[in-house]
Amino acid sequence: MKPLSGTGFAIFGAALIAISYGLARFAFGLFVPPIRDELSLSSYVIGIIGSLPLISFLLATAVAPVITDHLGARYTAVLSGLFGAAGLALISRASGPLMLGSGVFACGICTGLMMPALTAAMQATVRRSLHGRVSSVMNAGTSIGVIVAVPTVLFLAGAWRHAYLSFAVLAVLGVIATWLLLPSVSRVVPADAASPPPLGELPWSRLVRLSLFAYVMGLVSSAYWIFAPDLVVTLGGLPSGVTGWLWLAVGIAGLGGAVVADLADRNNPPITQALMLMMLAASLALLAASPANSVLAAFSALVFGLAYMSLTGLYLMTGIRLLPGRLSMGPVLPFMAVSLGQATGSPAVGALVDGFGYADAFAMFAALGILVAVLSPFYPGAIAQAEEEASEEEGGLQAAYDHQLQNEEGEPLEDPLEDEDETSAATS
């Protein structure tokens, strides 16, 4: 079968990310109210279950590079899809917290394996000059998946089991498409690429600061992802169908996050990190202050979606820049930190909700977000390997990928796929 073009790969990758991230991972919060009521679960138990896919995501992400190198991109993506289909099917049949937890844990494994598999396939089949753009489109798949989940809430109100069964069917279709369209190779590193810097020469202070900011962002955002729909239903008295519009706003605003993150990297990352973290905190405070007002709740969701996706995109670019030549670690490190923060925050929010109520719990997390936003001048905005040329260097996700592979002189490595295209064009 003919390999996918750059545009085709971007669209297909976004579809797989929509299933593995949007449906298998982030859609869970949307269904917390009916799941909690039917299975008689406390907020603390929901918080524990909400942290399980984040823990399994961390475990899967840690071993994903090794699995991808041994199985190749196609089989790793198929394995990811199988975990997603099984997890979503388990959730649809859950009769108690154990079965529900097993399902969301399997979904976390699906999420952790999918992006490394797609990145490996992209690096093997897509021209390097398109890696940044393709990655941006695939990253937007999370928002697309969240948007896709909305009709199931609007038209299947209370029928969360049927909704998750339909998600499982989509995951199976994704597995079939993956088997047919993705290459079986793992990521390819050219022989003339310079070796990555030794571990001792890595900018550890910047990496630690990036990880801490990403961790706190994940911690603060966990309150919204897991408990925002339950807050407007329980505290605000809004009907369950309103939560669908809430997630629709998150998904739509999240699509703009990729653009904001790219602009931020080109201008002043620390200032943008501060602004977006303040917006993230404001979305929590606004929702807790006016949970009964559907218009303000939807506005808070817009603010949250834009801030969250902008921050994850910014952290992605910074991680790639700080780890040149380490294709498997640059994009993964900040996402692992975000997930660790979410895994920590989810049960903490559940405990605070049981002890103090939704309003106070959300206010505490919003205050934490504001406090850390004040420390944003410490965010690693400079490019470690070219600080003296930072003012002249192109920014954005594409530039970050361009400097992943370098030659012995520190110049971006020529892309063999582009050379093949030029040769083919010349001969024809």
What pLDDT, in 10s, does the model give residues 335-356?
A: 888 888 988 888 898 889 888 8
The helix-helix angle for 131-139 and 6-17 (nearest 10°) equals 30
> Which two three-digit tokens encode residue 374?
């004040």
Show the domains of the chain with their CATH numbers: 1-189 (1.20.1250.20), 196-405 (1.20.1250.20)
Please answer whether residues 220 and 280 qualify as being in contact, where contact means their C-beta atoms are separated by less than 8 angstroms.
yes
Please answer whether residues 80 and 113 qualify as being in contact, where contact means their C-beta atoms are separated by less than 8 angstroms.
yes
- pLDDT at position 105: 96
Comparing 401 with 100, the larger pLDDT belongs to 100
Mean pLDDT for 62-90 is 92
Mean pLDDT for 233-244 is 77
- pLDDT at position 390: 42
- pLDDT at position 414: 63
The residues pairing with 412 across neighbouring beta strands, listed in sequence order, are: 406
Q: What three-state secondary structure class fits 412? A: strand
- Percent of residues in the chain assigned helix, strand, coil, to nearest 5: 80, 0, 20
Task: Give start and end residues of each alpha helix (H) in 239-396.
Answer: 242-255, 257-266, 269-289, 294-322, 332-356, 358-374
Comparing 54 with 409, the larger pLDDT belongs to 54
Residues 167-193: pLDDT tens digits?
999 999 999 999 998 888 766 666 555
| Angle at alpha carbon of residue 88, lines to 239 and 346, rounded to 5° | 65
Average pLDDT score, the chain: 81
Mean pLDDT for 31-45 is 87
Of 181, 168, 57, 177, the residue nearest 115 (C-alpha): 57
Q: Which residues contact 84 (CB under 8 A, 6 or more apart)?
A: 19, 20, 23, 24, 106, 107, 110, 111, 114, 171, 174
Report the Cα–Cα distance between both ends of the chain, in Å, rounded. Answer: 22
The pTM of the full predicted model, rounded to 2 decimals, is 0.80
- pLDDT at position 172: 96
* Residues 194-199: contacts with CB under 8 Å, at least 24 apart: 194/325, 194/405, 194/406, 194/407, 194/408, 194/410, 194/413, 195/325, 196/323, 196/324, 196/325, 196/326, 197/324, 197/325
- pLDDT at position 137: 82
- pLDDT at position 422: 45
